[in-house]
A and B are shown apart, each in its own frame.
Chain A
Amino acid sequence: MPDTAASTSVATHCPYCALQCGTRLGHDSGGTVVEPSDFPVNDGRLCQKGWTAPALLDVRDRLRHPLVRDAVGRLVPVDWDTALDTVAEKLWRIRDEHGPDALAVFGGGGLTNEKAYLLGKFARLALKTSQIDYNGRFCMSSAAVAGAVAFGLDRGLPFPVGDLGGAEAILLAGANPAETMPPLMQHLEKADCIVVDPRRTKTAERAALHLQPVPGTDLALALGLLHIAVSDGWCDKEYVQERTTGFDAAWRRAVTWWPERVERVTGVPVAEQRAAVRMLGEARRAYVLTGRGAEQHSKGADTAAAFINLALALGLPGVAGSGYGCLTGQGNGQGGREHGQKADQLPGYRMITDSAARAHVAQVWGADPDTLPGPGRSAYELLDALGTDGGPRALLVFGSNPAVSAPNAAHVCDRLASLDLLVVADFVPSDTARMADVVLPVAQWAEEEGTMTNLEGRVLRRRRLHPPPDGVRTDLEVLHGLAVRLGEPADRYPTSPRQVFEELRRASRSGRADYSGISYDRLDAGETLHWPCPETPGGEPHPGTPRLFLDRFAHPDGRARFAEVDHRDPAETTDADHPLYATTGRVLAHYQSGAQTRRVTELHEAAPEPFVEIHPDTAERAGLREGEPARITSARGTAVARVRLVGSMRTDTVFVPFHYPGPGRANLITSTALDPRSRMPEFKVCAVRIEPGTDAS
């Protein structure tokens, strides 16, 4: 679609989560208006975030000028040349003194494919650094590892969302779509849902069965469900024989998790464990889905793998109408992990340590493969190393707000403050932007063109309604401007999204996430294209791959892999000083760190301040009353939140949403224990105590 400011309405997608609900965005006399479209994922539905998204385009404190910190520490407006010159000059100097790995980049799962791609290229070629990672590490990285190992390929949902509508039973492990992805719920209406969640969420309330484990014990539960699948006769032995390997080793771990033992560890009654497996086993079509609740643990990859084991034992993955999937969270959480902003990956979901992958990408980039850096630090390790000996001294942040969203947030802020240079590109003065030495105001969502890849691996066109305000540039323009100042050839960093996408296609060709057959023209013509979609020179265009694995899994032998995994405690268990578990999560009105949604009046009014959900008995013992402030303290810090008494909470668990800034940041208390494979932090469980607070605090 041509870039015309005159168009009065465009077909595009919601700016927030991985559903990427289809919308029609336009202007009327009252300003910008949005309507849900019949895009099959949302089919006419939107949640409050989507309905109010137009307000983002006119937020009161929109950044309209680059800002540079002056001699007395104030952020003052400057022109773009001054800002970019300042950044480039400092990057040169730091690199000269400390080497290229002193420069680091932190990206985001909300960036378009084009931005994610160019950001990775910019880091490796212009900065020459290995130090790039992104907040998607905090999102679905555990499921990505487990899925890639099990199936040979990680695509959040290896089937279109609409397929869920035909299921008779769906297990949702640590997913709360009724609050995080409401329009998804229409696809879950027919199925009997089994929800695994320590909290009785809105999704759990509507489920046929709610399993309510102690935080940090999902892995034991998954092992127990596999045990029951075998001992109660629900295992699809023929499928296991013909389509998988590794069952015996996985089973020899699960055999020690008989239901009564699982009950002791998880608190989930034996009868409910059995009922869950029976519902899945009896269903003619069934799905196992995981979300952040199961994945954001120091054993998140193993937990996702254990749920995949269950799905494999039941014979679900790679069968039409059934399967396993991960509900990716961020808007471009899927595409964002495929195009090279991850520390260990190159575009096309290629591993940076694979010499063939390096050669291919280097050739597309016109670079010598030997000059490409190797793998860098993962997200939390990168943030933790900032300003330390041997750690990065400059950080460029695009599309992320780690001051709120990273674990152990007070420590992360200390690290950010210790940098010689912090540059933040954002469209609002986020909590991280306020700490920056240079703030670069960039275009948002409906002000530029691009592509996103939603949770089902479908590549979508995000379209421009109107140009960005004066004084604002796009992320692609920022990268271009910095790259040329760092001595890079200008044509290596196109500023046109379409041009970047053309290059991304070539870079992804024959990679695991192959986009080479996808083009703006095909997408604009209304085609439904899920990757992999390879180019077919001279032949019929590839139709894309809505359903993966129907014939074979992506391993060389075509078989899925069971994983040999076992349960262990969370990194932190309760003790006398910290007798409760805290778990963190989301509310409907807010998205991620809340930097966007807290600025939308209706959303702010719906969920204005941090709260802590706690069982009335637990509250009474702690001297807390409904509506009063409380202090929640872990070994790392204290978060302040208002008490909300919830009778369905476990008495050993409190819940805090993580969308809020300052002293209400849930991540002030979260653990920095990382999953050894995915490097996912343990957001979902830490040991805390809770005490009355004061409103002043």
Chain B
Amino acid sequence: MPASNHVLVVGHGPAAHRLVERVRHHGHRGPVTALGAEPRPAYNRVLLTSLLGGTLTAEDLKLPDPPDGVRVRTGVTATAVDRARRLVHTDTGETHPYDHLVLATGARPRIPHLPGLLTADGGLTEGATALRTLADCERLADGPVVVLGAGVLGTETTLALLRAGRDVTLVHPGPHPMDDRLDDMAGALLADHLRSRGAHLRLRRAAAEYRPGKLALDDREILRADALVLCTGVEPETALARRAGLAVRTGVVVDRHLRTNDPRVHAIGDCAEFDGEAPGLVTTTWEQAETLARILSGEEAHHRADRPVVRLKAPGIDLACLGPPDPPGATRHVTLSDPARGRYARLALSGERILGGVLIGLPRATAAVGQLYERGLPVPSDRLGLLLGTAATERPASVELPDEAVLCHCNHVTKGDLLRAWRAGARDLPGVAVATRATTGCGGCADDVRLVLASATGGNSDP
């Protein structure tokens, strides 16, 4: 580790917050500074829909304070990077030196081209908001809401607002919600679920024009929209990196050490592009923060693309998408379809490994399959059991058990022992207990013992 090792982080969202905490944990002792553009300390962005749903408050979303010795400047936006002098300039006129610069500028909402959406000065028209920050949530107006875009965020937002008792219309150009990830059957079930919760769906529709309080669709329907929520995707925030002359494609391009083309500059989180992709999931972002914290602390570490699972965060519906909708190389598919009960699963397999899939309405399978996929583990041979989440073994009735089967585990009493006691004259539970000690431990076998006694009595009245 160099003698001077000042880490400067641009951004103070979840990626930056995790990085500064972990860099201290891993023993980095140089100065650490984070510049957050938002006016408040770091918070848990991924749970903003819990705020909309009314289950958590803004106060609840606060993340832990930064560790000792980490300087966090809030309300400060980095405007330029002077890579030659290793300095970052800010909109407040500050200049911050660095030995290692970490770009964690995140992503910004993609604003659709929609007449009336933007004001003359380029801001959003009254009543319209994206959903990226706490301030966005606080801006949300009362009254009927239109959510534009039924991707993951739009779907979660719709369900959250419905939980909070709002009137919500969800407008989406695709044939069903999350159509970039869900096949027709899964998409139809998700649409059913949204409707059952009270959502008004406008599928295969696009917004044509916005005026405060009203949204016109491309079929001329006019929706009341006291609030308009834009869930129309995000794009990596790369302006600073571009201006600094760093390699940028969709995001700031990084290698497996999360390094840009300038070895002094790293990038993590939603602004970074690794292996052609920006993370999109906060868990991936956190893994990158952990990896970079190790690297900056002098450890050997590198980032690996993971196998992310998209899991809808909404109580009452279990929906998971594993990998791409139609993964190449699949040799067979396993499908369970039970639309009447809202259950559907389709897994693409290569041999015993899961390449991708979608599950809806199957809570146990979602948990099990998600882990198998993420960790690259083989699927069990009982695939129906896996998808239905049924217990693998059900015990047969005790009377069908062989004589050597243990019925009272506490005292290791077999069915044969019980029958011998019965033949010796024990006819009821207390009698059998004295003779064999069965039922005298936890007492859980009493029903089984009664069954054996009853069957012995019924089957052979005078042995």
Q: Which residues of A contact B (CB under 8 A)?
A: 36, 44-48, 51, 177-179, 182-186, 189, 200, 202, 206, 214, 230-233, 249, 251-253, 255-256, 258-261, 263-264, 267-272, 274, 564, 574, 588-589, 602, 605-606, 615-617, 620-621, 646-648, 651-652
CA distance A617 to B61 in the complex (A): 43
Contact across chains for B440 and A46 when beta carbons are under 8 A apart: yes
Across the interface, which residues of A come within 8 angstroms of B283, CB to CB? 261, 264
Q: Is the interface of A mostly helix, strand, loop or mixed?
A: helix
Query: Could you say which of B196-204, B208-216, B269-277, B373-381 contacts chain A?
Result: B373-381
Across the interface, which residues of A come within 8 angstroms of B440, CB to CB? 36, 44-46, 51
Contact across chains for B50 and A652 when beta carbons are under 8 A apart: no
Given contact pairs A46-B441, A47-B410, A269-B364, A255 touches B393 in the complex (Cβ within 8 A) = no
- A634–chain B nearest beta-carbon distance, Å: 19
CA distance A402 to B33 in the complex (A): 50
For B, the interface residue count at a CB cutoff of 8 angstroms equals: 46
* Chain A CB within 8 A of B366 CB: yes
CA distance A186 to B368 in the complex (A): 33
Number of cross-chain contacts by CB at 8 Å: 140
CA distance A107 to B134 in the complex (A): 57
Contact across chains for A231 and B409 when beta carbons are under 8 A apart: no
CA distance A50 to B232 in the complex (A): 67
Across the interface, which residues of B come within 8 angstroms of A231, CB to CB? 50, 55-56, 60
Given contact pairs A252-B64, A588-B410, A617-B380, A202 touches B313 in the complex (Cβ within 8 A) = no
A/B interface sample: 29 pairs, CB < 8 A: A45-B442, A47-B410, A47-B411, A48-B410, A48-B437, A48-B441, A185-B442, A202-B442, A206-B444, A231-B55, A256-B44, A256-B63, A259-B313, A260-B312, A261-B283, A263-B367, A263-B370, A267-B367, A269-B366, A269-B389, A605-B412, A616-B381, A617-B380, A617-B382, A621-B378, A648-B392, A648-B393, A651-B377, A652-B371
Interface centre among A184, A214, A617 (most CB of B within 10 A): A617
CA distance A249 to B391 in the complex (A): 39
Which of A179, A267, A602, A621 is the one whose CB lies under 8 Å from B368? A267
Contact across chains for B442 and A249 when beta carbons are under 8 A apart: no
Across the interface, which residues of A come within 8 angstroms of B393, CB to CB? 646-648
Contact across chains for A186 and B392 when beta carbons are under 8 A apart: no
Which of B366, B375, B381, B444 is the one whose CB lies under 8 Å from A263? B366
Which of B55, B367, B378 is the one whose CB lies under 8 Å from A233? B55
* Chain A CB within 8 A of B342 CB: no
CA distance A293 to B46 in the complex (A): 32
- A289–chain B nearest beta-carbon distance, Å: 16
Across the interface, which residues of B come within 8 angstroms of A51, CB to CB? 411, 437, 440
User: Which residues 126-158 in B have Cβ within 8 Å of A in the complex?
Assistant: none
- A181–chain B nearest beta-carbon distance, Å: 8
Which chain A residue shows the least CB distance to B371? A267
Residue interface bits B376-402, CB-to-A below 8 A is 1, else 0: 011011100000010111000000000
Given contact pairs A256-B44, A270-B318, A648-B391, A230 touches B60 in the complex (Cβ within 8 A) = yes
* Chain A CB within 8 A of B187 CB: no
Contact across chains for A271 and B318 when beta carbons are under 8 A apart: yes
Which chain A residue shows the least CB distance to B44? A255
CA distance A168 to B393 in the complex (A): 28
Given contact pairs A255-B60, A258-B47, A264 touches B309 in the complex (Cβ within 8 A) = yes
Contact across chains for B371 and A214 when beta carbons are under 8 A apart: yes
Which of B63, B367, B378, B392 is the one whose CB lies under 8 Å from A255? B63
CA distance A261 to B63 in the complex (A): 16
Interface centre among A46, A186, A258, A616 (most CB of B within 10 A): A258
Which chain A residue shows the least CB distance to B381? A617
Residue interface bits B47-86, CB-to-A below 8 A is 1, else 0: 1001000011000111110000000000000000000000
Across the interface, which residues of B come within 8 angstroms of A274, CB to CB? 315
Across the interface, which residues of B come within 8 angstroms of A185, CB to CB? 441-444
Across the interface, which residues of B come within 8 angstroms of A258, CB to CB? 46-47, 50, 313
* Chain A CB within 8 A of B166 CB: no
Which chain A residue shows the least CB distance to B377? A652
**10 pairs of A and B residues whose beta carbons are closest in the complex:** A185-B442, A647-B392, A182-B441, A182-B442, A271-B363, A182-B410, A647-B393, A606-B412, A269-B367, A47-B441
CA distance A554 to B391 in the complex (A): 44
Residue interface bits B27-54, CB-to-A below 8 A is 1, else 0: 0000000000000000010110010000
Across the interface, which residues of B come within 8 angstroms of A252, CB to CB? 62-64
Contact across chains for A270 and B367 when beta carbons are under 8 A apart: yes
Across the interface, which residues of A come within 8 angstroms of B315, CB to CB? 232, 274
* Chain A CB within 8 A of B353 CB: no
- A54–chain B nearest beta-carbon distance, Å: 13
